[in-house]
Amino acid sequence: MNNPFKLFFLFFSLLFLQVFILNNILLFDAINPYLYIVFVFLYPLKENKIPILFFSFLLGLGVDFFSDTGGIHAFSLTVIAYIRLFFVKVYFNKLEIDFPFFSLKTESFGKIFNYVVTLTVIHHFIFFSLANFSFHNFFNVLSNTFFSSIFTLFLYFIGSAIFTRNE
């Protein structure tokens, strides 16, 4: 995923998919998949965080613009883009030296699962906390986080199984 054209295509295809297809899916008036966060998972690891933060902010801002959500997608996506290196170090035991050679394809499913689930739940919790912005709705925040995370993770793992070739 180090090719700039692939990253450009990933950015705009995830934006298009989220805005025009996934934002129109609403199960039980509360469950919505947010698959655009895959951009953070697939962006190449680098010591310099500025590019991922910038592109994550732009992607979130694009989703916010079309969803009329006032910046909460941008904020929540930028937060997980900022903390992802910490979780790469925790779950995959990688150092800065390993970053140019890191790929999710080479890691075990258990490590990938923990990494993706953690970042997804953090993103969704921040997103729904800002969307509700009230302690009176805390149960709604937790239930929306839980069920939307399950739906997002289901789509992510199905999509990665379909689009990843076994080599």
pLDDT in tens, 92-143: 888 778 777 887 888 888 898 999 999 999 999 999 998 887 778 888 889 8
Q: How confident is the model at residue 166 (pLDDT cuts 50, 70, 90)?
A: low
CA torsion, ordered 59, 4, 83, 130, to nearest 10 deg: 0
Distance CA 38, CA 46 (A): 17
At 162 the pLDDT is 82
Q: Please, what is the average pLDDT of the chain? A: 86
> Contact 62/11 with Cβ under 8 angstroms?
no
pLDDT of residue 167: 46
Instruction: HSE, CB side, 13 Å, CA atoms: give it for residue 81.
Output: 28
Is the full-model pTM beyond 0.75? yes
Task: Report the percentage of the chain scoring pLDDT > 70.
Answer: 96
Residue 2 reports pLDDT greater than 70: no
Q: How far apart are CA 113 and CA 153, in angstroms?
A: 9
Tell me the C-alpha distance between 108 and 12, whole Å: 28
